Structure 1
């Protein structure tokens, strides 16, 4: 099982990124609607380009394993903050489940911060050349 660790790391990075890439693309497709949604939650809509950049750029960084620890750290923070801002509604069980999903994803991302991208990554190739 230990020999499969590098493959599991790669697959895990891809699966986590699968949450962020489509989310970022959908925000691009529905920019004004998403901007209004953010503002309804008290978040300035002017921050939407940063959110899109983080979701798409961070998702791609996870997949290829580039600056993985930084990308995972930023995405973990995003998960916690956005979860609290948009899903912390104790009277609504569905929203609380979504909050816990964000917290769980942040936990997985923090594991990536700790272990790094692993064997199949640009980070590893860069370290091998140094």
Structure 2
């Protein structure tokens, strides 16, 4: 059951970034203008979209999960600080704390890994089999 929970947790975290990344592509000019209005160079938008899409796919697949989780946690915290730190506006405050919570989820994912239903688990299993074969044959991997 925990492998299913890990997968569905990754799915929820990944979808936020996949949908957001595609949305930024669809409204590229508006997103770039918004970033610039908040003092963030619009030239960074391709990196943001890449991080959201590639990171989201990595989390979804459970591939390089710990690295992707750390990157997306840092991105979530940066986004909270840069775009949602207006605590006088209840909507922005909610977005701020939502991003902090997402970062917390990614920290747990970085600490615990992707779980059994993941590319990371398949790679680890394959490596363990190869190490065992090398030990029995006396060769080094």
RMSD: 0.6
Give the TM-score normalised by the residue count of structure 2: 0.88
How far 1:20 sits from its partner (Å)? Answer: 0.6
Give the TM-score normalised by the residue count of structure 1: 0.96
Counterpart of 1:53 (choices 50, 53, 67) is 50
**For the residues of structure 1 that align with 2:18 and 2:123, how far apart are their CA atoms?**
24
1:30 corresponds to: 27
Larger Rg: 2
5+ residue gaps, structure 2, are 128-141
How far 1:93 sits from its partner (Å)? Answer: 1.2
- Counting matched residue pairs gives 127
1:14 has 2:8 as partner: no
* Greater than 2 Å deviation, 4+ residue runs: none
5+ residue gaps, structure 1, are none
1:83 corresponds to: 80
How far 1:129 sits from its partner (Å)? Answer: 1.0
1:39 corresponds to: 36
